[in-house]
Amino acid sequence: MTTGLDTGTYELLRDRITAQAAELARPAEALNTRRVEEFGSQGLTLSGSAAQSEATRTEPPFRLQGSYLTMNRIAQRIRPAMDDSELATVVQDHYAAEAQTLTTGAEANLVKPAELRGTLTGAQAARWAEVKSAYGGGDRDGAPEAGRVA
């Protein structure tokens, strides 16, 4: 006598497990897609901001990099039923909260990602232009600012 699952029961279980696996993978795929959108092609630009010397800056430094720790914190808030706009809101809310912990440059660190994504509003674009024009990084001939130790 053979004990085990008959073919119909096996197929039913396999289909349920496959559906559950797809449901569990959906948030990870959505987060990875959002990560690529946020930091994929722009990753070098953002990292370059952190490594750029003060004398050559034309805008305030971007301090909210997309680290693994950041992605883990965001991943904890992702749910399978979220659509793209809800996922974008989670990411934006996370960075808004992170920017509030900065002692300086919070506004610049909120607007820069929107500029890279191409989602600046007219008011944000105007304010970002003001911030960049007022930013006095260093002497533009490449020499350090007066009083700064090189």
Q: Which two tokens stand for residue 101?
A: 């912990």
Greater confidence (70 vs 106) lies with 106
Domain ranges within the chain, ordered by starting residue: 11-51+61-133
CA distances from 146 to 76, 112, 129, 134, 139 (A): 46, 28, 25, 18, 9
In this predicted structure, the answer to whether residue 122 has a pLDDT above a threshold of 90 is yes
Q: List, for residues 33-90, the tens digit of each pLDDT value.
A: 776 766 655 554 555 666 677 778 888 887 776 666 777 888 888 887 888 888 888 8
Tell me the C-alpha distance between 99 and 79, whole Å: 24
Task: Band the pLDDT of 123: cuts 50, 70, 90.
Answer: very high
Residue range 11-28: average pLDDT? 86
Greater confidence (31 vs 90) lies with 90
The pLDDT of residue 142 is 45
Tell me the C-alpha distance between 35 and 43, whole Å: 10
Tokens 């349920």: give the residue.
16
The pLDDT of residue 16 is 92
The pLDDT of residue 145 is 46
Query: Which of the residue ranges 89-98, 125-134, 138-147 would you say has the lowest mean pLDDT?
Result: 138-147
The pLDDT of residue 126 is 92
Residue type, 83: D
Mean pLDDT, all residues of the chain: 75
